[in-house]
């Protein structure tokens, strides 16, 4: 089996200027290597100098359809080298509507455009629905979410937006019974230094989160979560001694309800107390 080409090797082969950070290439390899040699549609936002277009053509191979997007009409010159080039504003939803109509579904979109929050968020909101299942939408240079010249600190930064998507993903958990809206296309989000990758898989998103039981033989088990808490241990012992009440025909329902409420109330109070002590670990 031949070794997959590395993005850094392809970067160095490019005959035209491309400026990257040294930490980016391992991330490119991790995210994009599974697509090497495959017939994919790869879109990059921000291609004026042309170097990255040649890099990606070498990296993915001849089966890849490489499409570049830039705000400057000068980028059109790369069409002579066999690339498809679209000129437009990535902050404009209408531009993306027209782009999707002409191009159709995309396997990977890499945003290396203007790096403003508006540009990054508009690109994600507009293009996630156009990414194929199993595809990626990757935004790089996300460190701008912490740079003053881009408006940081801001609750509307791109990283803040990405965290909001993560919140929505976790609110899919069935037992939360959440009515919070969430992104129906994004199965997961991967964070790296200066990168956020949205992993698209609608089939996995559509799986309902419900408890399942493998039918195995149960065994006696004790919740040791609060083993070091004397009051929790006392409540646990009292519950064990009075468990027979739960099976009583008349008071069983009330006994189970009471024990459940006491347990939930105590757990809430203990966790609130513990959360205060955890503040020292939150540096940012």
Between 244 and 139, whose confidence is greater? Answer: 139
Identify the three-state secondary structure at position 203. Answer: helix
Q: How far apart are CA 141 and CA 21, in angstroms?
A: 9
Least confident stretch, 140-144, 178-182, 274-278: 178-182
Does residue 52 surpass a pLDDT of 80? Answer: yes
Is there a contact between 182 and 169 (Cβ–Cβ < 8 Å)? yes
- What's the Cα-to-Cα distance from 43 to each of 60, 68, 149, 230, 283, rounded to whole Å? 12, 6, 27, 59, 36
Does residue 22 surpass a pLDDT of 90? Answer: yes
Mean pLDDT value across residues 183-199: 96
Between 14 and 283, whose confidence is greater? Answer: 14
Q: Where are the domains of the chain?
A: 7-205, 230-281
Question: The pTM is what?
Answer: 0.84
What is the C-alpha R_g of the chain? 26
Between 247 and 147, whose confidence is greater? Answer: 147
Maximum CA extent, the chain = 84
CA angle 283, 272, 171 (to 5 degrees): 80
Model confidence at 37, pLDDT cuts 50, 70, 90, reads: very high
Identify the three-state secondary structure at position 195. Answer: strand
Amino acid 278: pLDDT = 83
229-249 b/e (C-beta count within 10 Å ≥ 16 → b)? eeebeebbeebeeeeebbeee
pLDDT in tens, 144-177: 999 999 999 999 999 999 999 999 999 988 888 7
Does residue 57 surpass a pLDDT of 90? Answer: yes
In the DSSP assignment, the letter for residue 145 is G
Amino acid 233: pLDDT = 59
pLDDT in tens, 94-141: 999 999 999 999 999 999 999 999 999 999 999 999 999 999 999 999
CATH topology of domain 7-205: Rossmann fold (3.40.50)
Model confidence at 1, pLDDT cuts 50, 70, 90, reads: very low
Is there a contact between 13 and 58 (Cβ–Cβ < 8 Å)? yes
């Amino acid at each position: 089996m031949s070794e997959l080409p590395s993005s850094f090797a392809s970067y160095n082969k490019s005959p035209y200027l491309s400026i990257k950070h040294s930490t980016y290439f391992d991330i490119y390899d991790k995210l994009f290597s599974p697509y090497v040699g495959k017939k994919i549609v790869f879109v990059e936002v921000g291609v004026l100098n042309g170097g990255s277009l040649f890099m990606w053509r070498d990296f993915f191979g001849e089966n890849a359809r490489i499409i570049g997007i830039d705000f400057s009409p000068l980028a059109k010159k790369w069409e002579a080298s066999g690339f498809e080039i679209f000129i437009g504003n990535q902050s404009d939803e209408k531009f993306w509507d027209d782009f999707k109509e002409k191009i159709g579904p995309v396997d990977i979109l890499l945003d290396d455009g203007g790096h403003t929050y508006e540009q990054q968020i508009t690109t994600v909101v507009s293009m996630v629905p156009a990414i194929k299942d199993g595809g990626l939408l990757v935004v790089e240079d996300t460190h701008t979410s912490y740079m003053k010249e881009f408006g940081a600190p801001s609750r509307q930064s791109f990283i803040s937006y990405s965290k909001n998507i993560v919140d929505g993903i976790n609110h899919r958990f069935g037992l939360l019974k959440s009515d919070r809206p969430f992104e129906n296309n994004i199965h997961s989000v991967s964070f790296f230094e200066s990168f956020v990758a949205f992993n698209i898989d609608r089939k996995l998103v559509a799986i309902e989160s419900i408890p399942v039981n493998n039918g195995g033989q149960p065994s006696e088990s004790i919740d040791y979560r609060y083993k070091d808490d004397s009051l929790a241990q006392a409540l646990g012992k009292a519950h064990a001694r009075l468990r027979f009440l739960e099976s009583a025909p008349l008071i069983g329902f009330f006994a189970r309800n009471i024990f459940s409420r006491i347990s939930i109330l105590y757990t809430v109070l203990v966790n609130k107390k513990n959360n205060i002590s955890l503040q020292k670990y939150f540096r940012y």
